[in-house]
Amino acid sequence: MPKDEISNDPVAIYDSEEALWKVQRSISQADMEKHGEWFPEFGPA
């Protein structure tokens, strides 16, 4: 993107919320559940 097309406006919370709806998860629900079971026993990696 050319420099003159970049907005000088600050990033707003709306921008972050909109991005969350557009980005796909990098892990599955099943992986999140496995982590939820593993974490209490073994703690952070």
Model pLDDT, residue 9: 75
Model pLDDT, residue 33: 93
Find the distance separating the first CA and the last CA of the chain, reported in whole Å: 39
The predicted-structure confidence for 1-45, as pLDDT tens digits, reads as follows: 677 777 777 888 888 899 989 988 889 999 999 989 999 989 886
Model pLDDT, residue 45: 67
Sorted by where each begins, the domain ranges of the chain are 13-45
Global pTM value = 0.41
Residues 6 or more apart from 34 whose CB is under 8 A from it?
none
Ramachandran angles phi, psi of 28, nearest 5°: -85, 165
